[in-house]
Structure formats: structure tokens, C-alpha cells
Structure 1
């Protein structure tokens, strides 16, 4: 079972923990970000495994910047300069994993916001095993707001970032494609940020249509912005029109940003789609919503790596009736969105002072189609302690802010469930998607694990039952919940050195009391890939290669095309594949001027074998399409689709994508789940030539996960 994990760190912010779809956990701790990467399940035992053998632990320092990344700024006018930001230690104040698909092997990147209001994007750089900064988001803001006249706010405030949130991936509809592109399988994630001038900007990263290198920069651009200004951010809680109210209004910033789901609609024209998404934030004590509309136009690409769609974005402030009702509460954040498939209702939950506020929205209100009274009324749930029998104890409330929030799906009712905790150790869950008239939050099932740890801490230090626990963040992934907790004495002033810093991460499985190690997600592929995309496995790859190579226009190396045709002959396949193999071989024989009579004849009999070529054929014109042993120079026969053996007995493993023999060490990548071996498109060109490398990249763009188990690749 997955035991609690203890780290010798102390969190530097609320919501200090983030869990990626790849299974990696990031924890914000002062100047560092600690990354916990699960080990492959094949390398550990199933029973009796301690937490120390389940995770790889790494860390990187996030507050080291070059002058180019963060230029030195001399003292500026009062409205533009912030001594606190410039003189800060640039500690980490927010971490968030992106949806998968932005960098090599379709992995996630990590967004790290530091207290100097600089947002960095980090990625794991290949075989070096290092986390490297690959983008500074503030640069895109500087370029965007520096192009035109923006006199209402200084440029430095518009390029300083206060909060961030990754949106759900925007999935491009599939239109008659055998193999959907990355934009349809993985989607296009956007990054929403708020600036010090209360601007909300949406950024898109340029990753589609190109193969990401193992290192380098990740370019991004702003696709839409909107400015939110509200002079009455605190009017309900201070004297309106007073000097104090004016001072508060000038300092109100957009914080606690969170993105809702995409809603898709088909338009009148053929290949025309639209999608709507809302991003919520807290400005002062008020809830603000920004609606982002995306227009999708499907088209025919002129080039191989060119996207087959056009995108347009437009952001505007969402002014719905329910937002005004939310202003009756003193909101503090964080924010959680959830929706149930085919329910037609979207729920939003917001943390408030000593309470949780929740409201259910119909899709018309979410889309902004119905700005009138939609009948949606927020409900307030006080944070009250409960006994083990669920009886609320009157007068025992929690006034600390909610410090962590996440949403899971209940396996029995298939309803979304909100998990949240406070700085004071209050831990509760609240089912969403049900009638808001139901009872308030109930005690979280993972609270008992925290109590066990707190009691051990109390006994070890003889605190007489006065030890307290504090929740600093909650994250979830595929039914598993991770809670970051610290322990403190409750009856004295705490003195703690850096050597005594401790942060405990508690894991809980929504299907049981503790999380089993075999359920830890690790580099999984796209979970919503079309079933037909993975049904035929190897046949799909062969069909793609042979169809791509068929005809005069050929985008793959002739050597790869010949290997695919031989694979179709050796292993029994459908008549369609054998027919495509015959056409490909006939085309190769005509273009390369090589004798392929034996291979063409065997296209009529499935399951045949192909003998190794003699030295004369290997050295003749066009003989470069045949495989040659790199050890002895002999020809390699075709009698298996998994192994390759030369005439002198040297055996090699075949790539599962190009079907070529892997004859050198260190040029392979492996599936993280089934350990299937593939040629690494960035390394194969060192010895095999640029044409083989280009073919590997072209095929890897289409088949970016394992063709057998849909797992992600690792070096």
C-alpha cells in the first residue's frame, strides 16, 4: 500500500501541491520545487512496499534568473514600482502542471510562479535528468502590451503576473481521419494568467506540427486579453466612497484563478465549430468570470506538418445574474469547477470566510446565452466541526481560509465530489452535482490518516493532545487524492530550524482507505483516444506507412517503406495490407531500380519469410533499402517482426514503429508501461542518416504513444 510520504521541507504557499496526468507530484517549498516521480511498476514489488521505494525525488531551484530572463529594474515611479517584489527572495508562490502534450514524448510541463511575479515554464530534459526552464511567460506579455498604446497602466504592471491556471485542452474535432492528429487526441491547452494591472490574458504554446527537441525554448503567444476593473471590490465590507475604500480598490488584484470546462457547438457551415470556456478569479472579495470563445475552422493542410485547422479566440467579461449574488459573500478562494457528462449542469465552488459557497449553473448561463435571472442561487455552507456520528456541534466553526481544494468522481454514484481543507486542519468533502439543498460538508475520509499522524507527533513531543495539523494543499489524479500536511504544537510559540522542517503527503484512494502502489499513474497515454485508433495495433501503423508511401509522392524513407512491406508479408495480415505492400514494393522496384521479384511474389501468401540479401544485392544500386548488419556487414533476413538476425547470426531487436533493426545502444526509447522498444527520433540520425530520422519524426508525430498499450515513452 502507498504509505504517507515525509519530506524535509516546509511549504511556501497555499495549494502548494500539484499532481500531473503523468503521475508526477510537484511541491512548492521556498526557493525550491520538489518533484516526486513514480518508479515504473515493473521494478517494484506489489506487497509491502515502503514509500521510499515508490518515488524518485528530485528538486530544482526556481529563483535563479539571468539578466536576460529578469532584467534589473532601477527605482520607478510609485504606481509602477514594488519594493516587495523587487527585494523578495523570489520564493515559489504557485505551481501547476499542464495537461499532457506540450513537450517531447507528450509530457506535461510545470508552471512555477515566484514572488517576483515572474512565471517560468519548466520541463524535464531528456537523458540529462534535469528540470530546465524553457519559457518565461512575462516575455510574451511585454511584447504584446508593448506593441500598442496602453496609457492606463504602466508596462511593468501589465507584464507582472499574479495568478495562473491551465485550461482544459481544446480538442479539435476529427473529420474522416484514419489517425487523428495530436490536436484531436491531446488537445490544445491554454494558459490563463492575471497581471498586476488586472488583465486576464490567454496564451497558446507553439507545439503542434513540430517535433519538440529534448531541450530548448517553448515559444508562446497571447491569443486574447481582457481588462477587469471594479472600484467597488470591497464596498460591502468598508464604508463606500471613503478614502480607505479607494485605497483598497486601487490595490485589489485578481487572485485564485481557475478554469472551467470547454463546451462545444457545431456551427452552420461545414467544418465550423465553436467552444466556450469560463475562467473564474477573485478580485478583492468578489467573483469575476471571463468567458473565452474559440472558433474552430477545419481545412485541408497544404504541407505535412501544417495544422489542418484555424483557430480564433475572443475573451470578454462574463456578466451573469448569479455573479452579482455571489458578491454577498466575502470570498477568499480557492475555486473549483466540475461538470458531469450529459447532465447539462456545471458546478462552481468557492472558498469564503468560514464557509464554502457553491452554485449549479445550467449550460445556457455558462455560455452566456442567458444573462437574465436563471434561477441559480448560491448556497453557503459554514465550516463546522462534526462528531463521528455526523452531528454538528453548534458554535464550533473554522474561520481560517480554505488552503486546498480538488475534485474527484465518486466510483459508486459517478458524481463529482469536492475535497477541501483549511489552514486550521479542517478537512471535509462535499458532493457536487446534487441538489444544493442537501446537507453541508462532511468529514473527509482521509482525515483519519491525518489524525493518526498528528497523534504520533503529539505523543513523541509530549504535547498533551494539543498538537495541531495544517492542510497546505490537496491534489488528485485518477481517483487518488494527495494531501500536504504540516504538524505544529498548539499551546506555545513554535521555534523551528530548517533542519526540522517536515511536510507529510497523505494518499487516499476513493475506492478504499489507502492508495495501492499499483494504481499510481505513470506516463500514461491519452485516456480518451478513440477505441478504433488502438484496436488493430500494429496493423494501423502498417496501413499508415504503406498508404503514405503509395504513389509518386513519398514522405517516408524507402528503407522504412520496404521494412513495412516485409513486415506485412512475414506476419499474417489482411488482404488489404498485402495489396498495399505489393503496390509499395512495385513502386520501390521501379524508382530505385532494384530487383524485388521475390518479395512481390510472396505478397500472395501471408506468413512467408524473406531471406537475407547477398553482398552483391546490398552493394548494388538501390541496395540501400535493404538492412545490413552493422557488425559484420551481412544481410538481415525477415523471419520475424520482433527480432532481426543477420546471415552470420547477430540478433537485434526491431523498432515497433519503423520495423527497422536497432543495431546500436543508446538510440532507443521505451514504453513506460510495457517496455516496448522504439527508435528515438532525436538520436537515430547520428548513425542512420537524415532520411531515417525524418521518417522516425514523421511517424512519432502520428503515433506519439506506444502502439500496444498507449503508454508514454521514456528515454
Structure 2
């Protein structure tokens, strides 16, 4: 069970929590960002019962997010009124929003963390394994400055064009996989984009490119504006303010796009002219609240697949185009005043897409068809529902309905793991909380009481009893997030009958974990909290054969991209460990090709390809000359040859034992050049830690294999240094 986690910090904004797919939790806490990383999955007790996941089972780190260099945030002196904000310039640059990206952007295919501070600077942070610290690897404002540097109108201040008000990560844009045995990372992980809104009401879509590779900064990113659309002329306050008055003009100029949220990608295939090519299109919407109105921007992407001449050539071309989706405009006379936040709900079975947005004392749900989402038919199949935020209280045997006018402070959509039904969880800062399931035919049903409300009441009552508040303690909800069927709730507790005075030493924040039924979450509910299951030798052999098949078949071509030493190790591994006739035949061809190309004697290895499970003797030290050393392994301690009897360990003729790499099957003879699986602790050669002067192109071979097999081949876990 995941126990509640109490931290000695206080949240600095609503929606202050984000949970990555790797299990890392980020919290906005003033000038700092708190990062909670789960430790190694707990084991089991002797009786088979699952151990509890306690507060001590989280690694707790923090980094300061409001320290900038002059190059990152230049000094701005007082300027004209229309483009200078005293609040932004003199703020403490506290954290106002955090969000994890989808995995796959940086080294080891991990996620990066986007942090928006009150000075309207959006920073991208990544964990640097070589230093053990979170470092800033990109600033999205720089891309806006470069894009608008030469194209800013005289009446539009440049500072507003480069200041970011809100942001949202989009789901990964998945490039259709071509007919290849191992698709590229753009098909396996997709291409995540970043949608940002500026102070001038522009919606910009940003693509992040990896520009690192060197050991000191492997996660350095570059931001590129791929498309942008301006959303102006918002007609707000028209029912209470004269639309053409000076006051209305002032209100309109100060209406910013906030509470941004991204919807799903919708794909459409077009016919290709030849095999392996084709044209695809994809559409995505982002929605935000501007003033009191809902505004939606649409991003259209053209994906052109083509046949590449080599593995390094691009296999696709992308074209981007953004515009406002006017098909989603409500234009209702009874439209309420929206406050945010915004969430998209996608019902995959019916194709319905809904937008949930907070309003004054209500939750608004706008149902869309796929045609309206694509911007093809205005109002086609649109449904509009308003659910009041009200609860019933019993006082003196009388029930009273109380309306909650405070804004919604947390909202998240969790997918039911069995029914595949999206469930919306939301709550207000005043303590109101509810959930709503999106089932076809039940769109009009009102939300019901959130099942995790009981957990909040339990800790509120304990807080009330400990401080003798006589039942007047109150709880405030600051954020919700969900992942893989779990929901995390951020709650603070306060006295309700007095003016609260609190010092930094008394700051407290509690994170509650529950499943979709409202029960305390169990460690078995989430893969990254489970212990590594015991696997059979057949399971290990099956996954190892996938790697061997790729290496051996790449070595049978006319142009060998992999090192001869890697090819020889794979052939020996297939001979010793595999019983597949197909792999043994491939190993024989590779050995024959190496013998002919390098002039080495491999009669013994070729003969043993007909005897699977046999032992391959080490080459004598006297035969390991310059030519033979390009193919065979040599012990760095004594200089003798290394035998082949296992895919896990290597032993030289004098008894020195080394661990073999789980990907290249080479002996790891140097300390500090390995990476490990974060789940099963399998050891691999780290392609970035191998010296650039390594012989036989070993570093290049490791890079090629690591790009294809970028997670653990046995458990699909992410790597760690």
C-alpha cells in the first residue's frame, strides 16, 4: 500500500503536482521544485504479502528554479507602459506550474520537466546522471525571441511576444512505422510537442531537439517554433460592459490565455505511391480560457513517409500549420463565466472528445464529434452540459444545499484499467470534490462525490483532534494528477476559526494516493512500484535472441556497420546459449565472413555452430596480434584471451572474471563505463562513457544498438548511470 506522504513544504500554485510515466512526482513549492522518485521496488514478506510503500521509500530532492543568468533572463529596464510589467520584473520568480513531458526526449529515453515561473520564463529541466543534479537544459522563451526578432509589428511589444503565460505538453506525435524489423524512436516513442501561450495571446507550438551527445551535457535541448497562431478579438464581458467602450477595450487587452490543455491526436491515412511510402495527416487541438471564453487552436500536421537510401537518412518529412478552430466556439447566450482549468476527455470506443472546463460555481463539459475536433463542421454533434458545484449538508435535521463559488483547483482524467473508461476527478480549494465517468449515453448524469474524499476527511479529523479545534479544521485541495490507474491528491490542513499564522518551519503538505475506487493504492496497481518478477531461463533466452538476430543479420550484409568484435561476440553467444537453428545458421555465416575479411582462423567456432550449447575456448595470448585483436577479446589485466561459456560472465585464461554487457555481449573490463536497468539491475555498456579513441569502432556500435534497443531487453525498464 502507498502510505500518505507528508512533506514540510507548502504549494505555491494550484495544479501544483505532476506525475511522470517513470513514477517521478514534481511539486511546485515556492522558489523550489520538489522531485520525488520511487526507490527500488519493494520485495515481499516471507508469507507472500506485499510490503507497504512508505514515505521513506521515496528519494526526495529539490532544486531552485528562480536562479537565472543574464543570458537566460536579460535585465529589463523600465519601458513604456504597454510592454512593462512591474509584477513580473519584481517578482521572486516562484514556480507557478510544473509538468512532465512524455518519455523519450533525453538520454535513456526519460522525461524532462517543464517549469513555469512567475517571471513568465518557461525552463526545461533534465536529470544529469553524471552530476546527480537537475539542470536547466533549455528555455522556451529563447525560441520565441528568435522567431519574433524580425517579425514584430511596431504596435506589438516584443516583450509580450516572448513572455509565456501558460503551457501544455501534447501527446507524442507517432510517426507510422514502416516495414522495418525495428522502427525508429519517432515510431516507438513519438515526437512530443510543447504548446505555449504568450502575453500577446499567441499560441505557439514548440518542438524540442537534442543537441547534446557529449558526456558533460548529453541532455542539452534546442527549442524550435514550428507553428504559431494569434487569438485576438475575444468578445468578453459583452453582456455587462458596452462592447465598444474604453473600459471594454482595456479589459479585452488584459485578457490572457490561461489554463492551457492539449487534446489527443487524430490520424488519417492517405494512399502512397509505392511500398514503404505514404502520406498521413494528424490533427490536435489545444484549449485555453481567455478572459471568460473558451478558445481552441488547431494544429494540423502532414506526415510524408518515404524510402531512405541508408539507415541514417530521414524516413519522413513533417509540415505544420496552426489556426483557430472556430468549429468549437460556443456562442451561447447563457454561456457562463469560465475560470479554468481545462481538461480533454477522449472516449476511444465512441470517438467522442469532451472538454471539461471550470466555471463560476459550475463545471462545464463540451462534447465534440471528431468532425468538429478537426474543424470541418461547426456545431456538428456538439453537446453542452453545466454541472453546479453544490453539496448537501445536514443541520438540525434539515438538509441545506451549499453552492461552492471558489474556483476548481485541481483536475485530472484517469483511465479505468479494465473498462477503459475515462474518469474525471476534480476538486475546489474550498474542499468540494467530485468525479464523473464518461460513458456513452450517460453524458447528462451529474458528478458524484469523489471516493477519495474519505481519505481527506480522515487526515482532517486527525488534524482537528491533535489541535483541539472542535471540528472547525478545514482542508484545501491544491492539485490532482493521475497515472496508470492511480490518483494523487495534494492537500493542506488549516484551522477554520481563526486567522492562521504560519512560519516556514510549520509548512506541511500531504499527498494522498488512491485507486479509481477510492481505496488506498496498492503497490501492485502500478508497474514501476512492483517488484521485478522472477523470470524463467526460457524468457531470458527469448528476449536475448531478438538482439542476437538483429546483430547477426546486420553482419551478413555487404556493408557491416557494427564492430567485428561485437559480431564475433554475438556469434559466440548464439553458439553457446541459443538452440535456434535459424540463429545458428546466421552465426555460422557471420563467422565465415569475419574469417575471410580479417584472415583469422575460426574453424573451431564454425564447427561448434553445429553443436549448440558447447564451450568456446579462449585464444592463446600469443595469437592475439593486431589483426586478431580486432575480432577477439583480450583481458586488460593479464593480456590473455577470454573464453565463451556464458552470456552473463566472461573469464580469461588466468581466471579474471568480468560481467558481460547485456546488449553487445562483450566483457565490461573498465570501471565506470556501465549503465544499469532501474528495474532489474542488468548491466550494459554506456555508449557515452566509452572513450572516443576505442578500437574497432566499439563506441559507434554501442550507439547504433542503444538507439534501437533503448530500454532493457529483459524488463523494458529505463536505464540509470
TM-score (norm 1): 0.94
CA drift of 1:51 comes to 2.5
- Give the counterpart of 2:717 among 692, 698, 711: 711
Counterpart in 2 of 1:348? 355
Describe how 1:25-44 pairs up with structure 2 within 5 A: 25-42=25-42
Count how many residue pairs are aligned between Structure 1 and Structure 2.
Answer: 704
Using the alignment, how far apart are the partners of 2:293 and 2:541 within structure 1? 49
Counterpart in 2 of 1:496? 502
CA drift of 1:43 comes to 6.6
Using the alignment, how far apart are the partners of 2:573 and 2:487 within structure 1? 45
Contact 1:615–1:635 at 8 Å: present in 2 too? yes
Note if 1:596 corresponds to 2:602.
Answer: yes
Using the alignment, how far apart are the partners of 1:440 and 1:495 within structure 2? 38
CA drift of 1:460 comes to 1.6
Describe how 1:231-246 pairs up with structure 2 within 5 A: 231-246=234-249
Using the alignment, how far apart are the partners of 1:152 and 1:689 within structure 2? 61
Using the alignment, how far apart are the partners of 1:495 and 1:209 within structure 2? 48
Counterpart in 1 of 2:154? 151
Contact 1:542–1:568 at 8 Å: present in 2 too? yes
Describe how 1:163-242 pairs up with structure 2 within 5 A: 163-207=166-210, 215=218, 217-242=220-245
TM-superposition CA deviations, 1:618-637 (whole Å, max 9, x none): 12523331111222221111
Question: SS in structure 2 opposite 1:380?
Answer: strand
- Give the counterpart of 1:672 among 678, 702, 706: 678
TM-superposition CA deviations, 1:12-41 (whole Å, max 9, x none): 111000001110000001100000000011
Counterpart in 2 of 1:12? 12
Structure 1 range deviating more: 705-714 or 236-245: 236-245
Note if 1:559 corresponds to 2:565.
Answer: yes
CA drift of 1:437 comes to 4.9
Using the alignment, how far apart are the partners of 1:425 and 1:400 within structure 2? 9
Counterpart in 2 of 1:530? none
CA drift of 1:688 comes to 4.4
Using the alignment, how far apart are the partners of 1:567 and 1:35 within structure 2? 41
CA drift of 1:580 comes to 1.9
Note if 1:308 corresponds to 2:311.
Answer: no
TM-superposition CA deviations, 1:369-389 (whole Å, max 9, x none): 212x3242210000111469x
Question: SS in structure 2 opposite 1:219?
Answer: strand
Counterpart in 2 of 1:125? 128
- Give the counterpart of 1:333 among 336, 340, 343: 340
Using the alignment, how far apart are the partners of 1:636 and 1:231 within structure 2? 73
Contact 2:210–2:219 at 8 Å: present in 1 too? no
Question: SS in structure 2 opposite 1:616?
Answer: helix
CA drift of 1:572 comes to 2.3
CA drift of 1:340 comes to 2.4
Note if 1:84 corresponds to 2:90.
Answer: no
- Give the counterpart of 2:290 among 283, 288, 293: 283
Using the alignment, how far apart are the partners of 1:57 and 1:251 within structure 2? 39
Structure 1 range deviating more: 35-44 or 669-678: 35-44
Using the alignment, how far apart are the partners of 1:291 and 1:678 within structure 2? 43
Structure 1 range deviating more: 331-340 or 49-58: 49-58
TM-score (norm 2): 0.93
Describe how 1:653-692 pairs up with structure 2 within 5 A: 653-685=659-691, 688-689=694-695, 691-692=697-698
Question: SS in structure 2 opposite 1:37?
Answer: strand
CA drift of 1:302 comes to 4.1
Unmatched tracts of structure 2, length 5 or more: 531-538
Contact 2:202–2:231 at 8 Å: present in 1 too? yes
- CA 1:485–1:323 in 2, change beyond 3 Å: closer, same or farther? same
Counterpart in 1 of 2:371? 364
Question: SS in structure 1 opposite 2:220?
Answer: coil
Using the alignment, how far apart are the partners of 1:622 and 1:630 within structure 2? 15
Using the alignment, how far apart are the partners of 2:309 and 2:488 within structure 1? 47
- CA 1:66–1:521 in 2, change beyond 3 Å: closer, same or farther? farther
Counterpart in 2 of 1:295? 302
Using the alignment, how far apart are the partners of 1:159 and 1:403 within structure 2? 27
Using the alignment, how far apart are the partners of 2:326 and 2:127 within structure 1? 40
- CA 1:20–1:467 in 2, change beyond 3 Å: closer, same or farther? same
Counterpart in 1 of 2:117? 114
Using the alignment, how far apart are the partners of 1:323 and 1:428 within structure 2? 25
Describe how 1:528-567 pairs up with structure 2 within 5 A: 536-567=542-573
Question: SS in structure 2 opposite 1:320?
Answer: helix
- CA 1:666–1:522 in 2, change beyond 3 Å: closer, same or farther? farther
Counterpart in 1 of 2:534? none
- Give the counterpart of 2:614 among 588, 608, 611: 608
Note if 1:479 corresponds to 2:485.
Answer: yes
Question: SS in structure 2 opposite 1:175?
Answer: coil
Note if 1:694 corresponds to 2:697.
Answer: no
- CA 1:651–1:512 in 2, change beyond 3 Å: closer, same or farther? farther
Using the alignment, how far apart are the partners of 2:627 and 2:342 within structure 1? 67
Question: SS in structure 2 opposite 1:698?
Answer: helix
Contact 1:567–1:659 at 8 Å: present in 2 too? yes
- CA 1:208–1:121 in 2, change beyond 3 Å: closer, same or farther? closer
Q: State the structure with bigger RCO (CA 8 A, min sep 6), 1 or 2.
A: 1
Using the alignment, how far apart are the partners of 1:434 and 1:237 within structure 2? 37
- CA 1:702–1:68 in 2, change beyond 3 Å: closer, same or farther? same
Using the alignment, how far apart are the partners of 1:288 and 1:212 within structure 2? 43
- CA 1:552–1:156 in 2, change beyond 3 Å: closer, same or farther? same
CA drift of 1:552 comes to 2.8
CA drift of 1:534 comes to 11
- Give the counterpart of 1:264 among 264, 267, 273: 267
Using the alignment, how far apart are the partners of 2:575 and 2:157 within structure 1? 68
Note if 1:71 corresponds to 2:74.
Answer: yes
Using the alignment, how far apart are the partners of 1:374 and 1:257 within structure 2? 24
Contact 1:567–1:641 at 8 Å: present in 2 too? yes
Structure 1 range deviating more: 265-274 or 493-502: 265-274
Contact 1:333–1:352 at 8 Å: present in 2 too? yes
Contact 2:393–2:401 at 8 Å: present in 1 too? no
Using the alignment, how far apart are the partners of 1:39 and 1:671 within structure 2? 13
CA drift of 1:500 comes to 0.8
- CA 1:265–1:375 in 2, change beyond 3 Å: closer, same or farther? closer
Using the alignment, how far apart are the partners of 1:523 and 1:664 within structure 2? 32
Using the alignment, how far apart are the partners of 1:687 and 1:573 within structure 2? 36
Contact 1:231–1:246 at 8 Å: present in 2 too? no
- CA 1:690–1:227 in 2, change beyond 3 Å: closer, same or farther? farther
Using the alignment, how far apart are the partners of 2:389 and 2:234 within structure 1? 30
TM-superposition CA deviations, 1:544-585 (whole Å, max 9, x none): 112222233121111111111111111224232222222222
Unmatched tracts of structure 1, length 5 or more: 525-532
- CA 1:279–1:243 in 2, change beyond 3 Å: closer, same or farther? same
CA drift of 1:210 comes to 7.1
Using the alignment, how far apart are the partners of 1:344 and 1:221 within structure 2? 32
CA drift of 1:364 comes to 1.1
Counterpart in 2 of 1:528? none
Contact 2:164–2:197 at 8 Å: present in 1 too? yes
TM-superposition CA deviations, 1:201-249 (whole Å, max 9, x none): 0011113997997545211201000000024222234343333222110
Question: SS in structure 2 opposite 1:622?
Answer: helix
Note if 1:22 corresponds to 2:22.
Answer: yes
